[in-house]
Structure 1
Amino acid sequence: MSVDGWNTVLVLGGIRSGKSEFAESLVTDAPVVRYVATAPEGDPEDTEWATRLAAHRARRPGSWTTEETTEDPRRLADVLASAEPNEMVLVDDLGGWVTVLLDPDHQPADDVATIAELAEAIRGCAARVVLVSPEVGLSLVPTTPLGRAFTDALGAANRAVADACDAVVLVVAGQPVWLKSAATATEPSAPATMTAPTAAASATVRSLADAEPTPEVQLPDVLTHTPPAIPTQEPGNAWAAPTMALPMVSTGLVIQPGMELPMPDEYAGPQAVDRLTTLDVPGAGLGVLDRVVGFAAATQGTPTPAAWGSVRVLLLHGDHAGGAAAGTVAGESARRAAQARAGQGALARLAAESGASLQVVDTPASAPIEDEPALAPEQVESALRYGWRLAEQAADAGVQLLVLGACGAGTEAAAAAVLAATAGAEPPAVLGRVITDSGEIDDAAWMIRCAAVRDALHRTRRSSRGAKDILAELGGGDVAVATGVLLGATARRVPVLLDGPVGLAAGMVSRDLAGQARHWCLLADHGGHPAVRLAADVLGLTPLLDLRMDLGEGANALVALPLLRSVLALSAALPVHPSLGGPDDTDPSYADEPESTDPSYADPDLTEPDSTEPDFAEPEPAGPGPASTEADEQPATGWRAG
């Protein structure tokens, strides 16, 4: 199983469902594709069938190689066994393969054995494999013996191949529905781990602390993603693969400016905040934290949002070369990443306290931005898709909230360069002070960083300021992956808790790709960082806290997470205030007399009007009027007296 979720996938679908087009979209970006055609040529006078075959051939790029197995169905297993790790094999389809298998020219044949051989070949194939097959399980039982033999054999083949594949998708009317997702398929002994690719096979990786954890705090589940350094060389790795995002794969689109992604519920948020004013809480209620309730309500689509249960921390690790990394100790970021993988350090301990999983993601190293582009354009495309898949995998695993952090040399300077290019900021105004390990301020290193950003902006003064151009020229690998995470999380309606310059820089870039992404982001604390302050102001994200902690990206968010969860749990559990019709728990007669006999409690629409009812009288004011000079006994702040 590959790091991005699958090495082998079975694409099922009915006639004209779009299954072949969907399968072809999965291999679009692969440089080496072996197309295996299984359908026989058929009757030469059947022009309609010939037209179908011609349409299939016309869709194949000229760089693909085509092989046929119509002469011998058993050859399909040999093709899979001989495939190289750098190849992508597309088999279209198993219906034609079974047709040839049952052909009288190939009888007598052991159909069961041949299907078993195919399943074993899929399991042992070193290349990535996409197989297409008609779904016959929803059709009626054929009325002819030959028809029943075909459906029985194809059904058996589909079941065997589905069991052998990492993932299975059903295409209905052009819309893919994933029946078997490899993102959540893990070893029984390590249910929370992701997987990382190797040259010939895959292995489950789980990093735990070398020492035994303390009884009070258990180490978090640590998930690791380690892509190769050059993402475009090997089509079998996570970087070169196409995204599995449903609205994009089915149409063959790529991540591009102007995408239409979902927006949070525009009504649930205000309704949730209005509901807070009716709850049985003293004083002015939740204060500024009511924004947390409104955000959670909008992203969950309900006026009574629940506290986030499953939380995943994505720690992006990628260094920037050149002057952007001035003042950092060589190898320090790698040590921090290794520490997090081992379940140690501040971030891992905070994740354990919060019950959050921690996923360490290595991003490609970025070149010196003052001299050359940080990334190649093809690397940017791969990094965006990779970040999108990280968010998809989290959503498939049931994650309800993503926490985005980063650790890497030069990340602050790269974020400052992105802000200067997108918001017109001056680098010295958004570059934080450089603090050494001994706690001293290193002004010389700060000036080198400013000069690097200045030179990078001068070098790119005539370059396009499009989102992908900024990522390639200035942002680098970590900002590109973070941007993909924000877009993928938006597509899957998963909120993101931002923390640090990298996440905010990604938010600035994502505006040109999908303006909806910022509405799914929440900023717990600005951490005293000037770049975060400016980006948050541009994006319309108001920090909830002002702790000014500096434990590294992601740590501030995890410190605030228990508080945010408590606020959501409290708002969901508290009843309505008794003065507004809620229950009065202090009245012992309330439980004994749930229904009053007083006619005033009856529904006015169900009672007869009382002819003896006295004339209406204007009630006396309960407090001073607007022109009164008497002292106001009501509190100056708050919506209700405590």
Structure 2
Amino acid sequence: MSLDGWNTVLVLGGIRSGKSEFAESLVAGAPAVRYVATSTAGGPEDAEWTARLAAHRARRPGSWTTEETADQPRRLADVLASAGPGETLLVDDLGGWVTVLLDPAHQPADDEATVAELAAAVRDTAARVVLVSPEVGLSLVPTTPLGRAFTDALGAANRAVADACDAVALVVAGQPVWLKPVAVPRTAEVPTRRSAAANGASGPVAAAETPLPTVLTPGTSAPATAGTGAGGDWAAPTMALPMVATGLVIQAGMELPMPDEDAGGQAVDRLGTLDVPGAGFGTLERVVTFAAATQGTANPTPWTTVRALLLHGDHTGGAAAGSVPGDSSRRAEQARAGAGPLARLAAEVGATLQVVDTPSSAPMEQEPALGGAAVESALRYGWRLAEEAADAGVQLLVLGACGAGTETAAAAVLAATAGAEAPAVLGRVYTADGQIDDAAWMVRCAAVRDALHRTRNSPRDARDVLAELGGGDVAVATGVLLGATARRVPVLLDGPVGLAAGMISRDLAGQVRHWCLLADHGGQPAVRLAADVLGLTPLLDLRLDLGEGANALAALPLLRSVLSLAAALPVRPRLGGGPDSEDEPDFTEPEPAGPGPTTTHPESGGRAG
């Protein structure tokens, strides 16, 4: 399900338009779905309606739960109002709800008030909600009073709910068109300092426009400002893997693409010929070779289309000891609104930003962090996030995360996959006022210890580690890495979650690490160890700690500059370069400088005298 920037979606469509199937595809990646059925069951005299309901039930995965509201129309608003922030609801459909609403046996005192209550519940719900409704505005005016009453009531309900929803889609002949995408936040005015000379005197600060990152619309590959229609469906099957009815088949030992090593080697040779006054690019030479190998050319170009993925998901129990309650949600919403370090840096470098909610993880010391079915859904969801980025022409993914207990989960993954000790890979815990919290750090270490003891007899394959220790954010991140590798999209890692996903992905596809680049270790011991195991040497040692994803975006301009310089510089003049020459000259065999044969012609037969 597309989870960037919206909570509620209304899916409209005509009869047999495919609206229900499209709505179901939007929630296919959710770990658990509550299906809210609004229509009454068909009686024995209406076999066709009964068959339709049976077909709907058969399509639902076994992990979904069903809730009936047909007998009490007012109850639908209560269900939405009581749903929590971690829940996903699919309401199908409002046509059945209006039918019951108009039934004299169930009709409340005021139909319009009931519709208004439903719209208010949609607007205020904390859950992710997709609602399905028939579109009656394009049909003929019914010839009966009852038919006209139905279309009038449903049309009013559709308008009210559409106004309350974050996004609205219309499905025609199975093709979705987004009518109401999420709008890009308006450019904010923030105070900036100006000198006394500029102001004429010391006085109030002036306002200046600050750039905001491009916000993506749900289910589309284009930004909201582009005005385009719907893009690729994330629930659609991929051609990169074998398919079964449930979607992707992600299994151990997958054969995914490798970067072009020959192109990387040729790029190294080319760098040695460039006309630079010093010794060259130093450590950043690896940026050029990485870009060359992943782009398949000896002269790579800078990444112009970049997408930052921020995975938001909390871990509960001892893993989150010392975390401020609700702080991760605040930062995720801050990023969606274009504020905070990650959003500001994304705007500066021209990257699109996508905030993705992942399943919350249970206390690892007491029970599995995530159920087996939820792990599969999270892996497929991450894969489709990467596919959607590739379809949009993204040349580089930046992978970051925010959430309570993410460092602890990464430490547990490292302990299970690399034999690390929790105290050695868990960074210090800081309070809200910047003080070191040793007590919380010890609780986190104990949580990892107890989780490892609880799972001491469990297998250590990728899925088991994700289910027992990694949780939702690490599982989605693993899927992102696998999908990006399958689509040949390089990934700039930043923070423990991405590195933990890299460790787990080794069992699923060993090619993944060759598509990953680490800009800075951020001074985090878990990142240092995982990078060492994966063979990812950090390019920089700036020890930035701006939040996952933000550190990589801060370093991105430098990496782009190196690629731009390497692509634009000519070769040295003595090798045939000049003002207009940027191509490497053909190699010429040098003449021997000492004793030896002066010619290779067999008829010569002589030697230098």
Asked if Structure 1 and Structure 2 have the same fold, meaning a TM-score greater than 0.5 normalized by the shorter chain, the answer is yes
Deviations 1:374-412 (A, max 9, x none): 000000000000000000000011110000000000000
Q: Distance in 1 between matches of 2:401 and 2:415?
A: 20
What is the deviation of 1:435?
1.4
What does residue range 6-405 of structure 1 map to in structure 2 within 5 Å?
Answer: 88=59, 164-166=173-175, 204-206=181-183, 208=185, 211-212=188-189, 215=208, 217-223=210-216, 244-248=237-241, 250=243, 254-405=249-400
Partner residue of 1:514?
509
SS in 2 for 1:360: strand
Partner residue of 2:487?
492
Partner residue of 1:430?
425
What is the deviation of 1:246?
1.0
Contact 2:189 2:210 in 1 (8 A): no
Q: Distance in 2 between matches of 1:282 and 1:538?
A: 36
Deviates more, 1:495-504 or 1:213-222: 213-222
What is the deviation of 1:468?
0.4
SS in 1 for 2:280: coil
Contact 1:433 1:443 in 2 (8 A): yes
- Corresponding residue to 1:469 among 448, 464, 468: 464
Return closer, same or farther for 1:315/1:584 CA change in 2, 3 Å cut-off.
closer
What is the deviation of 1:418?
0.2
Residue 550 (structure 2) pairs with residue 555 (structure 1)? yes
Q: Distance in 1 between matches of 2:482 and 2:539?
A: 23
Contact 1:412 1:431 in 2 (8 A): yes
SS in 1 for 2:216: strand
Deviations 1:33-73 (A, max 9, x none): xxxxxxxxxxxxxxxxxxxxxxxxxxxxxxxxxxxxxxxxx
Contact 2:413 2:465 in 1 (8 A): yes
Deviations 1:103-146 (A, max 9, x none): xxxxxxxxxxxxxxxxxxxxx9769xxxxxxxxxxxxxxxxxxx
Contact 1:347 1:555 in 2 (8 A): yes
Return closer, same or farther for 1:2/1:294 CA change in 2, 3 Å cut-off.
closer
Partner residue of 1:418?
413
Partner residue of 2:450?
455
Partner residue of 1:18?
none
Partner residue of 2:73?
none
Return closer, same or farther for 1:125/1:362 CA change in 2, 3 Å cut-off.
closer
Q: Distance in 2 between matches of 1:274 and 1:375?
A: 48
Q: Distance in 2 between matches of 1:209 and 1:508?
A: 40
TM-score normalised over the length of structure 2: 0.63
What is the deviation of 1:251?
6.3
Q: Distance in 1 between matches of 2:371 and 2:354?
A: 26
Partner residue of 1:45?
none
Contact 1:6 1:166 in 2 (8 A): no
Q: Distance in 1 between matches of 2:51 and 2:335?
A: 39
TM-score normalised over the length of structure 1: 0.60
User: How many residue pairs get matched?
Assistant: 422
SS in 1 for 2:338: coil
Contact 2:11 2:171 in 1 (8 A): no
Q: Distance in 1 between matches of 2:238 and 2:571?
A: 42
SS in 2 for 1:248: coil
Q: Which amino acid aligns with 2:298?
A: P
Q: Distance in 1 between matches of 2:380 and 2:547?
A: 26
Partner residue of 2:401?
406
SS in 2 for 1:366: coil
Q: Distance in 1 between matches of 2:405 and 2:55?
A: 38
What is the deviation of 1:164?
3.3
Contact 2:187 2:211 in 1 (8 A): no
Contact 1:243 1:385 in 2 (8 A): no
Q: Which amino acid aligns with 2:453?
A: H
SS in 1 for 2:379: helix
What does residue range 532-551 of structure 1 map to in structure 2 within 5 Å?
Answer: 532-551=527-546
Q: Which amino acid aligns with 2:423?
A: P
Return closer, same or farther for 1:163/1:3 CA change in 2, 3 Å cut-off.
farther
Deviates more, 1:337-346 or 1:242-251: 242-251
Identity %: 70
Q: Distance in 2 between matches of 1:250 and 1:513?
A: 17
Q: Distance in 2 between matches of 1:217 and 1:82?
A: 52
Q: Distance in 2 between matches of 1:377 and 1:584?
A: 61
Q: Which amino acid aligns with 1:164?
A: A
Q: Which amino acid aligns with 2:336?
A: R
Return closer, same or farther for 1:245/1:346 CA change in 2, 3 Å cut-off.
same
Partner residue of 2:98?
none
Return closer, same or farther for 1:374/1:212 CA change in 2, 3 Å cut-off.
same
Contact 2:315 2:362 in 1 (8 A): yes
Partner residue of 1:234?
none
Q: Which amino acid aligns with 2:447?
A: A
Contact 2:411 2:448 in 1 (8 A): yes
TM-align CA RMSD: 3.8
What is the deviation of 1:215?
4.9
Contact 2:477 2:497 in 1 (8 A): yes
SS in 1 for 2:241: helix
Q: Distance in 1 between matches of 2:12 and 2:509?
A: 31
What is the deviation of 1:617?
7.0
Deviations 1:415-442 (A, max 9, x none): 0000000000000000000112211111
Can you give the 5+ residue segments of structure 2 that lack an aligned partner in the other structure?
A: 14-24, 30-46, 61-130, 135-169, 191-206, 220-232, 582-590, 592-603
Contact 2:12 2:133 in 1 (8 A): no
What is the deviation of 1:245?
1.8
What is the deviation of 1:225?
6.6
Q: Distance in 2 between matches of 1:126 and 1:491?
A: 37
What is the deviation of 1:83?
9.2
What is the deviation of 1:335?
0.4
Contact 1:222 1:360 in 2 (8 A): no
Return closer, same or farther for 1:397/1:215 CA change in 2, 3 Å cut-off.
farther
Return closer, same or farther for 1:367/1:250 CA change in 2, 3 Å cut-off.
closer
What is the deviation of 1:6?
14
What is the deviation of 1:576?
1.0
Residue 477 (structure 2) pairs with residue 482 (structure 1)? yes
Partner residue of 1:444?
439
Return closer, same or farther for 1:243/1:431 CA change in 2, 3 Å cut-off.
farther
Contact 2:234 2:385 in 1 (8 A): no
SS in 1 for 2:299: coil
SS in 2 for 1:358: strand
* Structure number with larger C-alpha Rg: 1
Partner residue of 1:502?
497
SS in 1 for 2:529: helix
Q: Distance in 1 between matches of 2:315 and 2:2?
A: 27
Q: Distance in 1 between matches of 2:378 and 2:11?
A: 19
Q: Distance in 2 between matches of 1:6 and 1:560?
A: 40
SS in 1 for 2:353: strand
What is the deviation of 1:564?
0.5
Partner residue of 2:526?
531
Return closer, same or farther for 1:211/1:283 CA change in 2, 3 Å cut-off.
closer
Deviations 1:485-504 (A, max 9, x none): 00000000000000000000
Q: Distance in 1 between matches of 2:314 and 2:444?
A: 14
Contact 1:504 1:532 in 2 (8 A): yes
